[in-house]
Amino acid sequence: MNGCPGLRDISITGDEEIPINKRGSGVKRLVLLNFFRAEAERRKTENNVPDIIYAIEEPETSQHPSHQRKLIEAFIELSKADNTQVLLTTHSPSIVKMLQFDHLKLIKSEQSKEVVSVERNELPYPSLNEVNFLAFGESNDEYHNELYGFIESEELLADYKDGKETIKYIRIKRNGDLMSEQKIVSEYIRHQIHHPENTHNARYTDEQLQASINDMRVFIEARAL
pLDDT-derived band of residue 23, with 50, 70 and 90 as boundaries? low
- Dihedral angle sign, alpha carbons of residues 47, 51, 55, 60: positive
Letter for the amino acid at 174?
R
- Annotate 49-72 with b (16+ C-beta within 10 A) or e (fewer): eeebebeeeebbeebeeebbeebb
Residue 29, pLDDT > 70, answer no
* pLDDT of the residue at 223: 86
Ordered by start, the domain boundaries in the chain are 20-99, 141-222
What is the Cα–Cα distance from 178 to 188, expressed in whole angstroms? 16
What pLDDT, in 10s, does the model give residues 56-103?
Answer: 888 887 777 887 888 888 888 888 888 888 898 887 877 888 888 888
pLDDT (mean) for 146-168: 96
pLDDT-derived band of residue 105, with 50, 70 and 90 as boundaries? confident
Question: What is Dmax (Cα atoms) for the chain?
Answer: 74
pLDDT (mean) for 23-52: 72
What is the Cα–Cα distance from 216 to 209, expressed in whole angstroms? 11
Bridge partners (DSSP) listed for residue 166: 184
What is the Cα–Cα distance from 118 to 96, expressed in whole angstroms? 11
* 90 or 148, greater pLDDT: 148
